[in-house]
Amino acid sequence: MRTFRTLIIASLCLAGMSSPAQEKLFNSANVQSPVINPDGTVTFNLYAPKAIKVEVTGDFLPTQAVEVPGFGTYDAPGVAQLTEDKNGLWTYTSDKLSPEMYSYTFNIDGMTGVKDPANIYVNRDIVSFSNIFIVSQQKGDKGDLYRVNEVPHGNIAKVWYPSPTLKMQRRMTVYTPAGYDKGGKYPVLYLLHGAGGDENAWSELGRAAQILDNLIATGKAKPMIVVMPNGNPNCQAAPGEWSWGMYTPGFRDAGTGPTQPAAASIPASFMDIVNYVDKHYRTLKDRAHRAVCGLSMGGGHTFGISLLYPAKFDYYGLFSAGLHLPDKTIDMSKPFAQQMKDDPDFAAQSARLFASKPKLYWMGMGKTDFLYQGTVDLRNYWDAKGYHYEYVETDGGHIWRNWRIYLTMFAQRIFQ
């Protein structure tokens, strides 16, 4: 009897302790947001009866041009006003949206970046968090490609590996395709993130596992291992997931985390990753079964890797690449065309790369990307030399929406 009374008292205490969380849950559950309507519009709802002004900002709205000193402009997410009803519910309905994965946050009385309490789906991009939602109209469209479907699924693992060149243990994300556990050997795609990102970027923001699962299941891509390393050479892993603890990540470095200089660059240390993967996974260990691609900073790393190791990979993909010459002390304020001209090694490296006859050298760039000119300079140089590459230009700027498209296109071209 005493035990029964004790259990009742404990239960009541727990109920009292958890009531604020439950109240928040119930209040959020009463407001549905976002609501994807049958006509393709999306309605955002926020219960904020004491608010004076509420806005939604997201990549589903017309973009705003923002100046980046030294680079030009980039496309910032647009902003729209919500309207309030008599009960304190703020609402906004978008125009009809195309199939895609979108992100958004609220601005409330001047406080920006407020997450939607009714939407539990959130991604981190460097130091910013935003809610996400997916719009899909039919099987096989982009929204469908980015969501989890009833297909055979690959597995995602967080893997620690030694990097003798960088003199540290490091972490990477590794996708193994459905059926990997049944045996056989596989080609490998090395997929690199941009500045401020880490080994979680492509698997979360980029939807890499969903894209590969869906492409492989429909026969549009070959089953492959996908390796997503951390591209910050002075970091071991994503913020909060190694011994430096809960530091704030930076755009091109570790932010408030480690300040010691890196022992080497990512391109110079890249074969540490390849050697580990070939030793610990069932890979096809030749050039014809290796590909490397990356976005922004990772596109710059891919460019450097192609110049340093032209006989190691047969497929290269530069997505909105932040181009720079590998392992050079150069004046980054100079146009990339001038950097190439001033570098005594670049002409020979480019000639060696294309003499090796890679099966695919692919570049994708948004029309309004602030890094656009660097790719123009590189293309002009290689065009003058008669080097063969493929180029795709899309609408929009330096955004994940483009990079998911580029991964989808590139994955269907490799290992065929």
Mean pLDDT, residues 134-145? 95
User: DSSP of 198-253, one letter per residue?
Assistant: -TTHHHHTS-HHHHHHHHHHTTSS---EEEEE---TT-SSSTTSSTT-SPPP-SSS
Give the pLDDT score at 387: 97
Mean pLDDT of 202-222: 97
The DSSP H or E segment spanning 111 is strand 111-114
Digit-coded pLDDT (tens) for 245-287: 887 777 655 566 666 788 999 999 999 999 999 999 999 999 9
pLDDT for 362 beyond 90: yes
Residue 241: which of 130, 124, 114, 128 has the closest Cα? 124
**In whole angstroms, what is the distance from residue 116 CA to residue 46 CA?**
7
CA–CA distance from 279 to each of 254, 269, 275, 282 (Å)?
Answer: 29, 16, 6, 8
According to the model, what pLDDT value does residue 138 have? 93
User: Which comes out higher in pLDDT, residue 70 or 30?
Assistant: 30
pLDDT of residue 221: 98
pLDDT band (50, 70, 90) for residue 136: very high
Summarize pLDDT for 151-207 with one digit per residue, the tens: 999 999 999 999 999 999 999 999 999 999 999 999 999 999 999 899 999 999 999
Q: Does the bond joining 344 to the residue before it have cis omega, within 30 degrees of 0?
A: no
Q: What is the pLDDT of residue 329?
A: 64
As a whole-number percent, the residues of the chain with pLDDT over 70 amount to 87
Q: Once rounded to an integer, what is the mean pLDDT over residues 128-136?
A: 95
What are the residues facing 161 on neighbouring strands? Answer: 170
Is the pLDDT score of 23 beyond 50? no
> How much is the average pLDDT of 356-385?
96
